[in-house]
Amino acid sequence: MKVLVIGGVAAGTKTAAKLKREDPSAEVTILNRGEDISYAGCGLPYYVGGVIADRGELIVNTPAQFEKLTGVAVKCGVEAVALDRSARTVTARNLSDGSETVYGYDKLVLAVGASPVAPPIPGVDLENVFFLRTPEDAAALRLAAESGQVRRAVVVGGGYIGLEAAENLAARDIRTTVLEMAPQILPGFDQEMAAWAEDRLADQGVMVFTNERVTAITGEGKVEKVLCESRKMKADLVVLSTGIRPNTAWLADSGLDMVKGTLLTDFHGRTSDPAVWAVGDCAMVHNLIIGAPAWSPMGSTANIAGRSAAVNLAGGESQYQGVLGTAVCKLPGLNAGRTGMSAAQAAAAGIDAESVVCVLGDKAHYYPGAGEFIVKLTAARADQRLLGIQVLGEGAVDKMVDVAVTAITLKARLTDLANMDMAYAPPFSTAIHPFVAAVQILLNKLSGRLVSMGPADFQAGKAEGYQVLDVGKAPAVEGARFLDFTALPAGMDGVEKDSKLLLVCTKGRRAYLTQNRLRALGYPNTVVLEGGTTVNGTELVK
């Protein structure tokens, strides 16, 4: 069997290596446009920041090393330019001399990846304007950052790579600003969670401006300013992180099924041509929850999809169930992680869902270094099936996310998760694990034991007509009446029993306890503000 793999990096090399292990007799050849066949793309921001000191650490294997390790033939510096499906051939151009060679195949794997999208604005070709996609990009950006001539940097794009670039530039004491044309950073998070992260970034000196469309980059040969529709910003360096586009233009006339240039595949990795597979950033996979095609340009997806496709190429059976949009990101003073559906995504998919926002300890409160998680948990209302989680905090947010990934993959309901025997010791967790605590809080909300309002609803004005009661341990909400529930008498002077009361404390727990006490005393119309002043701030009274 002759298998031709177009592209390397994560998906192409993983497919080729696994295929040779599955079927050592297969004749496998990789055609790769660049000279680096296998590098750690996700590590590029950390090379820029100096966390990874040596560029060589980013290179997983050289072409020669890969050939020796796997038995796969590797040809670099060649670019596929045409596909003839009927003849089962690919024409590739040698980038050094322009000559063309036709390669035959029995089976073809398209792992051509994606390239950065340059915004259609003046100035993107100025000196000190960078992308961050390849080791060469990272090396050039790091050289500029280390030059001593960069005081201000602007990152255009508030996705994960852009934010990681911002973190690593800021770590070099470069004043860094993030501009995002969307209403929020952190795609896949709900708006109120992203807004909280934006505030924390500002506390760390990284300013974020959303709803900002960049119109031009200006300067005399070198970048000096970034122009937006509503502001101008001085900059010595610009990183463009405005999205990527699959490298499939050469396949436009191939007849393969695509959506916006991304190749459609089945659960085995096959395209609409049974002799052609597609993996990595150029290919669609599937959403694990609803089964619809999903684009997941992540190194994790590329590796898993590539491995699965290789098993099928060799005649085995491997079905890639799909993705959950799982992501984790290290930011200045903050970690962010998410998986599954946000509340907004569930609504868009027509799923009747309920969510809760809660503030939970990431380890025993008395243990040195203890911090907090801001958690948003979402579940289907009908069957209480877990749909998604979003977590922000200084601690191990990935642990929370990975538990949720396991639960969602196994289609677990909240009741299946409410009393899990999770690992506990003070340096690692709380006695009731924060994931389990979040599940229990959402169950309370679904059952009506907790009547609460999320930050998004509060910001949308749904607390109109409610009197705000500050029920924390000490007064904190400006202009609100303070109430200590532990000293609560039979009633409250000046507050009618049918009054609509919004209960606010620091995190939400004390407000829940107050709600229980007030309900017993005949106050039925109380609502807890989820996340308390930690998420919503203290200026809550108009």
pLDDT at 103 over 80: yes
Q: What average pLDDT does the segment 12-28 reach?
A: 98
pLDDT value of residue 40: 86
- Confidence band (pLDDT; 50, 70, 90) for 427? very high
Active-site position among 42, 228, 282, 358:
42
Q: What average pLDDT does the segment 160-178 reach?
A: 97
pLDDT at 180 over 90: yes
Tens-digit pLDDT profile for residues 293-314? 999 999 999 999 999 999 999 9
pLDDT value of residue 487: 85
- Confidence band (pLDDT; 50, 70, 90) for 286? very high
DSSP secondary structure code for residue 147 in this structure: S
CA distance 115 to 32: 14
Counting runs of H as helices and runs of E as strands, what totals does the chain give? Answer: 14, 34
pLDDT value of residue 272: 98
| 8 A C-beta contact, residue 472 and residue 486 | no
| 8 A C-beta contact, residue 156 and residue 238 | yes
CA distance 239 to 156: 6
Tens-digit pLDDT profile for residues 210-266? 999 999 999 999 999 999 998 999 999 999 999 999 999 999 999 999 999 999 999
pLDDT at 39 over 90: no
What is this structure's pTM?
0.95
pLDDT at 490 over 90: no
The enclosing H or E element of 299 equals helix 299-313
| 8 A C-beta contact, residue 340 and residue 378 | yes
| 8 A C-beta contact, residue 338 and residue 401 | yes
User: Which structure tokens are listed for 231?
Assistant: 């502001």
Tens-digit pLDDT profile for residues 332-388? 999 999 999 999 999 999 999 999 999 999 999 999 999 999 999 999 999 999 999
CA distance 490 to 525: 16
Neighbours of 501 (CB within 10 A): 23
pLDDT at 97 over 90: yes
- Is residue 42 annotated as part of the catalytic site, yes or no? yes
User: Which structure tokens are listed for 12?
Assistant: 């192409």
pLDDT value of residue 328: 97
Q: What average pLDDT does the segment 445-463 reach?
A: 97
Residue 366, amino acid = Y
pLDDT at 49 over 80: yes
